[in-house]
A and B are shown apart, each in its own frame.
Chain A
């Protein structure tokens, strides 16, 4: 089977700014694919080129083996859910949804059947004769999705579709989007700057920074094994330890960090002594205790004395800001009876931070 959707060395410049720089990526049929990156990274430009609203300066875009780079938007079977929904204010919900079917010159009976079917799917059958201005944000969102899906496009583009909704509604719509994707089986291309949205929905994520793809992987891989310092810091929180490899011992190596004792880490990249590296350790992998871990454990793991600088209660967990030598370290601790077998930690306590060498991940080898 040939590849479904391909960006082949696509570049787009706006004046002096290179919005998309030589991007090549492949999206599979039926996949929920996310483009994730900070605002201005070029993810929306990629989406607009796919929709036909921008033309790349160089490179081609293929859909099911067909070159669609120069096709106008109305000749692509690719529909977009816009950030502000862009529902037609002069038309009812029903007419908004039927718009693409009428353009495709479908039979009246078929149009009615399809519209009513999708209205049922988004559970807005009783709102069909209202105008967009009479709907709530979540309802508008659902209508926008239904309008784009009703004539079964090859690809559905979603441009930050949840950005305008409040947190509770956003979480609800996330589930709903996932259900809709499962129901229709159409390829979804989702653009967002919210890593949480991308992580919870996507089959694969392309992390984009300054117009290039930094990493293309499944959500877990991107979180656990970030390909660059940018990816590690953009997806979730992390602690960086920058230093030089001082010793290699079997599968593990030791990292010398300025003013800090040696850190043991899993040497999955087979680094040599003397190479410089950034080690990323996620806060939730770090334990904080008043007493040091048992000696038999302490031999094989990283244990460092530290001082509590700040404590932030965040409901699900508590975040500790700690200081060891000159480094600030963030650590998370969930609230669980099993972890309350120690004295409570307060400000300025001298504590121990410890983590397993396998929980550090080395990024950006220089």
Chain B
């Protein structure tokens, strides 16, 4: 008896329909509404006015490029530190025995039992200018300054230009962690670290650790084996971890609002400001759209580049294999 292809097609549609509906209702339609808002003018009482391109014209604000750059820079920094910290953590947890694994993985999730805002507020106390974290921070800044002086002038200028270093000497009175980029990065790393550990840990748990032994056996040092065998082996987990951290970091506004002071305004704060304080929904929508596009476009380019690279690799492998079989036949 053969299966009717049309019927199985229909069954497939029926099964996938609920998820399609769910996606359409709660993702696609709201996203399109937000997009539509951007082509409207705002009204003085906080509503959405008639069709117009005025919102997009307003978007040419000289502040915005700096804010977008700041947002991306901080998100990259947060993602970088989260991955760097999550890799050894996930590795260590995956190597524990079952009992300890459950305990440690559980305690990583434990902070989620407390409200996010309360936890961020607690950091405000911990980062107080009279606290010990502040004195650690001053030491760190001095160390950084000392290292900075060693760099060639070109590298110094690049770092200053990118906002990753300041040219002036450390002044303990003005260099407080609280109300600075550093506080935002620090607390963001703290908040998003579990989102980085979990996908990497899930991948690491499935990783065959005998492979590390095999690498050591063939002459690799432990760290080489970690880099060349473990990290590629859990690649998928790292990719999800990057997305899990980078996307919320791009849109975060609570942490910069509470700990970033007046210097650290990110795009999330601007959207919040426009939507709630200025009651300009179209403008907030335009910013949100801009942000989504600025994430999605590089992502699409990266994916396209990767698939092209894969195709090229495959081609190379095929020609090489063909050449070798020819050689064998000769």
B138 within 8 A of A: no
A92 within 8 A of B: yes
Q: Are A73 and B213 in contact (CB under 8 A)?
A: yes
Residues of chain A within 8 A (CB-CB) of B229 are 88, 90
B14 within 8 A of A: no
Q: A126-B321, A128-B321 are in contact. Are A90 and B218 (CB under 8 A)?
A: no
B210 within 8 A of A: yes
B220 within 8 A of A: yes
Q: What is the CA–CA distance of A42 and B327 in the complex, to the nearest angstrom?
A: 47
Q: Smallest CB–CB gap between A317 and chain B, Å?
A: 40
Q: What is the CA–CA distance of A151 and B217 in the complex, to the nearest angstrom?
A: 12
Contact pick for B218, options A72, A89, A92, A147, CB 8 Å: A147
B131 within 8 A of A: no
Q: What is the CA–CA distance of A148 and B217 in the complex, to the nearest angstrom?
A: 9
A100 within 8 A of B: yes
Considering only residues 200-227 of chain B, those with a C-beta below 8 Å from chain A are: 208, 210-211, 213-221, 224
Residues of chain B within 8 A (CB-CB) of A89 are 211, 233
Interface size on A, residues (CB 8 A): 30
Q: Are A90 and B235 in contact (CB under 8 A)?
A: yes
Interface residues of B (CB under 8 A from A): 208, 210-211, 213-221, 224, 229, 232-233, 235, 317-318, 320-321, 324-325, 327-328
Contact pick for A100, options B219, B233, B321, B325, CB 8 Å: B219
Q: Are A74 and B233 in contact (CB under 8 A)?
A: no
Q: What is the CA–CA distance of A84 and B208 in the complex, to the nearest angstrom?
A: 10
Q: Are A72 and B214 in contact (CB under 8 A)?
A: no
Q: Are B233 and A90 in contact (CB under 8 A)?
A: yes
Q: A125-B328, A126-B321, A129-B317 are in contact. Are A99 and B210 (CB under 8 A)?
A: no
Residues of chain B within 8 A (CB-CB) of A340 are none
Contact pick for A86, options B208, B224, B320, B325, CB 8 Å: B208
Q: A90-B235, A92-B317, A126-B324 are in contact. Are A99 and B217 (CB under 8 A)?
A: no
Q: What is the CA–CA distance of A114 and B211 in the complex, to the nearest angstrom?
A: 23
Residues of chain A within 8 A (CB-CB) of B218 are 74, 79, 99-100, 103, 147-148
A82 within 8 A of B: yes
Instruction: Fill in one digit per residue for A113-132: 1 if any B CB lies within 8 Å of its CB, else 0.
Output: 00010001000011011000
Q: What is the CA–CA distance of A92 and B320 in the complex, to the nearest angstrom?
A: 13
Interface residues of A (CB under 8 A from B): 51-53, 72-74, 78-80, 82, 84, 86-90, 92, 99-100, 103-104, 116, 120, 125-126, 128-129, 147-148, 151
Residues of chain B within 8 A (CB-CB) of A120 are 328
Q: What is the CA–CA distance of A345 and B217 in the complex, to the nearest angstrom?
A: 57
Residues of chain B within 8 A (CB-CB) of A52 are 216-217
Can you name 7 extra interface pairs (CB under 8 A) apart from A74-B218, A103-B219, A128-B321? A53-B217, A74-B219, A74-B221, A82-B210, A99-B215, A103-B220, A126-B321
Q: Smallest CB–CB gap between A94 and chain B, Å?
A: 9
Q: What is the CA–CA distance of A74 and B222 in the complex, to the nearest angstrom?
A: 9
Q: Are B216 and A79 in contact (CB under 8 A)?
A: no
Q: Are B328 and A126 in contact (CB under 8 A)?
A: yes
Q: Smallest CB–CB gap between A113 and chain B, Å?
A: 13
Residues of chain A within 8 A (CB-CB) of B217 are 51-53, 73-74, 78-80, 148
Residues of chain A within 8 A (CB-CB) of B327 are 125
Residues of chain B within 8 A (CB-CB) of A90 are 229, 232-233, 235
Max chain A C-beta neighbours (<10 A), residue from B214, B235, B327: B214
Q: Are A84 and B210 in contact (CB under 8 A)?
A: yes
Q: What is the CA–CA distance of A100 and B220 in the complex, to the nearest angstrom?
A: 8
Q: What is the CA–CA distance of A110 and B283 in the complex, to the nearest angstrom?
A: 64
Q: A86-B211, A90-B233 are in contact. Are A72 and B320 (CB under 8 A)?
A: no
Residues of chain B within 8 A (CB-CB) of A73 are 213, 216-217
Q: Are B320 and A129 in contact (CB under 8 A)?
A: yes
Max chain A C-beta neighbours (<10 A), residue from B219, B221, B317, B327: B219
Q: What is the CA–CA distance of A192 and B313 in the complex, to the nearest angstrom?
A: 40
Residues of chain A within 8 A (CB-CB) of B328 are 120, 125-126
Q: Smallest CB–CB gap between B325 and chain A, Å?
A: 5
Residues of chain A within 8 A (CB-CB) of B219 are 74, 100, 103-104, 151
Residues of chain B within 8 A (CB-CB) of A116 are 324
Q: Smallest CB–CB gap between B218 and chain A, Å?
A: 4
The 10 tightest CB contacts between A and B, nearest first, are A86-B214, A129-B317, A100-B218, A90-B232, A73-B216, A103-B219, A86-B210, A126-B325, A80-B217, A74-B219
Residues of chain B within 8 A (CB-CB) of A100 are 218-219
Q: What is the CA–CA distance of A343 and B26 in the complex, to the nearest angstrom?
A: 87
Residues of chain B within 8 A (CB-CB) of A147 are 218
List, sorted by A's number, 6 A–B pairs whose CB atoms are closer than 8 Å.
A52-B216, A79-B217, A84-B210, A125-B325, A126-B324, A126-B328
Q: Which residue of A lies closest to B225 (CB)?
A: A74
Residues of chain B within 8 A (CB-CB) of A80 are 214, 217
Q: Smallest CB–CB gap between B238 and chain A, Å?
A: 13
Q: Smallest CB–CB gap between B329 and chain A, Å?
A: 10
Q: What is the CA–CA distance of A90 and B227 in the complex, to the nearest angstrom?
A: 12
Q: Are B321 and A82 in contact (CB under 8 A)?
A: no
Q: What is the CA–CA distance of A219 and B62 in the complex, to the nearest angstrom?
A: 87
Max chain A C-beta neighbours (<10 A), residue from B320, B321, B327: B321
Q: Smallest CB–CB gap between A143 and chain B, Å?
A: 12
Q: Smallest CB–CB gap between A244 and chain B, Å?
A: 52
Q: Are B214 and A74 in contact (CB under 8 A)?
A: no
Q: Are B216 and A129 in contact (CB under 8 A)?
A: no
Q: Smallest CB–CB gap between A324 and chain B, Å?
A: 51
Q: What is the CA–CA distance of A100 and B215 in the complex, to the nearest angstrom?
A: 8
Q: Which residue of A lies closest to B214 (CB)?
A: A86
Q: A74-B219, A74-B221, A100-B219 are in contact. Are A88 and B211 (CB under 8 A)?
A: yes
Q: Which residue of A lies closest to B210 (CB)?
A: A86
Q: Are A82 and B320 in contact (CB under 8 A)?
A: no
Residues of chain B within 8 A (CB-CB) of A99 are 215, 218, 220
Residues of chain A within 8 A (CB-CB) of B317 are 92, 129
